[in-house]
A and B are shown apart, each in its own frame.
Chain A
Amino acid sequence: MERTIENESTSAPAVQVVNLTKAFHQTPVLKGVNLEVAGGEVCCVLGRSGSGKSTLLRCMNLLESFDSGRIIVNGELMGYREKGRRLYTLKFAEIARQRSSIGMVFQRFNLFAHMTALENVMEAPVRVRRLPKAEARERGMAMLERVGLANRASAYPSQLSGGQQQRVAIARALAMDPKVMLFDEPTSALDPELVGEVLGVMRQLAADGMTMIVVTHEIAFAREVADTAVFIDAGLAVEHGPARQVLSQPEHPSTRAFLERVLK
């Protein structure tokens, strides 16, 4: 799994988080997080529950607002237009445009329950990209093929297992041809025997060179697939570096304590 990141990331990073802070009702969740993810890199975000790692991920596509700091994805400042010394909040339509090139996969899948697998995958290309239906269908089938579910195209989410639903959710995100994919604990809601199929799809995606930021508890997956790892503790990125180093020889005591507990 040694992939050459240097090829793709010669200039600006794909995702850049600068000094991000956020509080929920005066309780600080993020206290100045800095993070850089290069193009084609797979970055695993680790941390205890409540450490702010999901919030950090959700800020990246503006599902969550933040109090200060910046997020730059593909060289574009997310959510604001900078003019002089001011940041003007973008209109919803502009934010929607920014989001459309960032794929997101949720812990609870969030497939549209009233649509079949194929309709789920076609929806955004048709409604957002204005792709003709026939073209979107063809593309949708290709995406379902990619996650190994072309044969379940006409199934409703309720007729699919959790693992299958999550794979459709990945296909749905891929159909928008995203430059970055965000995964928010994609296997946490799955029965243990279904985790493997989802990780398999993600492994393939990583091998294809997709830029991925993955919030996960799957240390084995992180070891195998991730290029870099970040450990978030109490709203700060306390450790960030090559995955092998963070996961095997952590420097920070809280990273060490966390890994000991998880690997036990």
Chain B
Amino acid sequence: MPVQASDQASGRSQMNPIPSDEAPIIVPERKPGRWVAAALVLVVAAMVVNTVLTNERFQWDVVFEYFLSDRILAGLGNTLNLTLVSMTIGIAGGLVLALMRLSGNPVLSSTASAYIWLFRGTPLFVQLLFWGSISALYPRLSIGVPFGVEFATFSANDLISPYTAAILGLGLNEAAYMAEIMRSGISSVERGQTEAAYALGMRRATTTWRIVLPQAMRVIIPPTGNQLIGMLKMSAMVAVLAYPELLYSAQLIYAVNYQTIPLLITASLWYLIVTTVLSVGQHFLERHYQRSDGGRRAKE
């Protein structure tokens, strides 16, 4: 070995290759710091697991007693419903806002900018409270000609139920964020694609639907998955409107039996399960879009 090492040092080994059976063994760099760090983290982790299992006040029996209870499952259903409906409103509204913002009409584009500024610039929590109390601002809502005749009038209290207030709050807020995601997706499509479509005699709407949006999807879909997962968790704020989604259902139970911590854990476990399922879906979605993206960009 030492002889070979000096051979290599002098550079002669390149001309006389060393036979493979005598090749030197490569020793990786030693990293003692890793072992120390890992040991420290493991000790802390063991402490956490120990306390979770031995502290009786976690009351795991209560956690699982309510885990599949009707009220918790109904709350979970409401949470999923809120998430999907609000996300649909957010995506549709976001697309409209993005197209408005990118349009050449200064009134439309500045209106979209103002909307995005307002809804991104105030806390969602405040917006939810606001929609919940809208009847204080507009006791009556009516349908009719602007500044003219009214055809029908409704009491805001009847029309804006906690559920309506919740999807309005979540959906309209989400639209502002989705608008920015869609705008960046649409802007990511090369100008040449639009020019080629126009040169072939395609109209604006056809070009948007057939050429620009399908290509913008590569950029839009991955962050939209993130938004969906975020929406699931943000929907817990709706508890403030006394709408029985997952968190508020748990709150209603512990308000009676005072088992606050176990019921918060019950709710959290369900949030974890759903976000895990969504994250797995998100992972595959991202991989799919990365692959077609990488494949297509490589030769362009």
**A-to-B contact residues, CB < 8 Å:** 61, 63, 92-93, 96-104, 106, 108, 110-114, 123-124, 127-128, 156-161, 169, 172-173, 176
Select which of A108, A113, A123 is within 8 A of B210 by beta carbon.
A123
Contact partners of B203 in chain A: CB under 8 A: 92-93, 96
Contact between chains at A176 and B193 (CB < 8 Å): no
Contact between chains at B295 and A123 (CB < 8 Å): no
For the complex, give the distance between the alpha carbons of A124 and B197 in Å.
8
Nearest-Cβ distance from residue A212 to partner chain B, whole angstroms? 15
Contact between chains at A106 and B195 (CB < 8 Å): yes
Kindly identify, within residues 227 to 264 of chain B, every residue whose CB is under 8 Å from any CB belonging to chain A. none
Scoring B residues 187 to 198 as 1 if CB is less than 8 Å from chain A, else 0, what string do you get?
000101101111
For the complex, give the distance between the alpha carbons of A112 and B201 in Å.
15
Say what secondary structure dominates the interface of chain B. helix
Q: Indicate if B297 sits at the interface (CB-CB under 8 A).
A: yes
Select which of B192, B195, B210, B300 is within 8 A of A158 by beta carbon.
B300
Contact between chains at B298 and A158 (CB < 8 Å): yes
* Residues of B within 8 A of A (CB-CB), count: 24
Select which of A97, A106, A159 is within 8 A of B201 by beta carbon.
A97
For the complex, give the distance between the alpha carbons of A173 and B200 in Å.
7
Sample (10) of A-B pairs whose CB atoms are under 8 Å apart: A61-B199, A63-B199, A92-B203, A93-B203, A96-B198, A96-B202, A100-B200, A110-B192, A127-B206, A128-B201
For the complex, give the distance between the alpha carbons of A108 and B300 in Å.
9
Q: Indicate if B31 sits at the interface (CB-CB under 8 A).
A: no
Contact partners of A101 in chain B: CB under 8 A: 201
Scoring B residues 204 to 215 as 1 if CB is less than 8 Å from chain A, else 0, what string do you get?
101000110011
Contact partners of A100 in chain B: CB under 8 A: 200-201
Select which of B201, B202, B296 is within 8 A of A113 by beta carbon.
B296
Kindly identify, within residues 156 to 207 of chain B, every residue whose CB is under 8 Å from any CB belonging to chain A. 190, 192-193, 195-204, 206
For the complex, give the distance between the alpha carbons of A9 and B293 in Å.
48
Contact between chains at A111 and B196 (CB < 8 Å): yes
Contact partners of A97 in chain B: CB under 8 A: 201
Select which of B190, B192, B200, B300 is within 8 A of A123 by beta carbon.
B200
Q: Indicate if B34 sits at the interface (CB-CB under 8 A).
A: no
Q: Indicate if B299 sits at the interface (CB-CB under 8 A).
A: yes
> From A159, which residue of chain B is reached at the shortest CB distance?
B299
Select which of B192, B199, B202 is within 8 A of A108 by beta carbon.
B192
For the complex, give the distance between the alpha carbons of A63 and B192 in Å.
11
**B-to-A contact residues, CB < 8 Å:** 190, 192-193, 195-204, 206, 210-211, 214-215, 295-300
Contact between chains at B200 and A99 (CB < 8 Å): yes
Contact between chains at B211 and A176 (CB < 8 Å): no
Contact partners of B198 in chain A: CB under 8 A: 63, 96, 99
Q: Which of B192, B193, B195, B201 has the most CB of A within 10 A?
A: B201
Contact between chains at A114 and B201 (CB < 8 Å): no
Q: Known contacts being A157-B296, A157-B300, A158-B296, is A113 close to B200, with CB within 8 Å?
A: no
Nearest-Cβ distance from residue A44 to partner chain B, whole angstroms? 20
For the complex, give the distance between the alpha carbons of A63 and B193 in Å.
12
A-B contact count (CB 8 A): 82
Contact between chains at B215 and A106 (CB < 8 Å): no
For the complex, give the distance between the alpha carbons of A108 and B192 in Å.
8
The 9 closest A-B pairs by CB, nearest first: A100-B201, A124-B200, A110-B196, A104-B199, A110-B192, A158-B296, A128-B201, A99-B201, A96-B201
For the complex, give the distance between the alpha carbons of A25 and B202 in Å.
28
Nearest-Cβ distance from residue A64 to partner chain B, whole angstroms? 10
Contact between chains at B195 and A124 (CB < 8 Å): no
For the complex, give the distance between the alpha carbons of A159 and B201 in Å.
26
**8 additional A-B residue pairs with CB within 8 Å, beyond A156-B295, A156-B296, A158-B299:** A63-B198, A100-B201, A106-B195, A110-B193, A112-B196, A114-B296, A127-B206, A172-B200
Nearest-Cβ distance from residue B207 to partner chain A, whole angstroms? 9
> From B214, which residue of chain A is reached at the shortest CB distance?
A114
For the complex, give the distance between the alpha carbons of A113 and B210 in Å.
12
For the complex, give the distance between the alpha carbons of A158 and B299 in Å.
5
For the complex, give the distance between the alpha carbons of A100 and B197 in Å.
10
> From B191, which residue of chain A is reached at the shortest CB distance?
A110
For the complex, give the distance between the alpha carbons of A85 and B181 in Å.
47
Contact between chains at A124 and B202 (CB < 8 Å): yes
For the complex, give the distance between the alpha carbons of A169 and B299 in Å.
16
Contact between chains at A113 and B199 (CB < 8 Å): no
For the complex, give the distance between the alpha carbons of A128 and B198 in Å.
10
Contact partners of B298 in chain A: CB under 8 A: 158
Contact between chains at B295 and A113 (CB < 8 Å): no
Contact partners of A103 in chain B: CB under 8 A: 199
Contact between chains at B214 and A158 (CB < 8 Å): no
> From A102, which residue of chain B is reached at the shortest CB distance?
B199
Contact partners of A98 in chain B: CB under 8 A: 201
Contact partners of B204 in chain A: CB under 8 A: 92
> From A91, which residue of chain B is reached at the shortest CB distance?
B203
For the complex, give the distance between the alpha carbons of A114 and B210 in Å.
10
Nearest-Cβ distance from residue A163 to partner chain B, whole angstroms? 12
Nearest-Cβ distance from residue A139 to partner chain B, whole angstroms? 14
Q: Known contacts being A113-B215, A113-B296, A159-B299, is A128 close to B193, with CB within 8 Å?
A: no
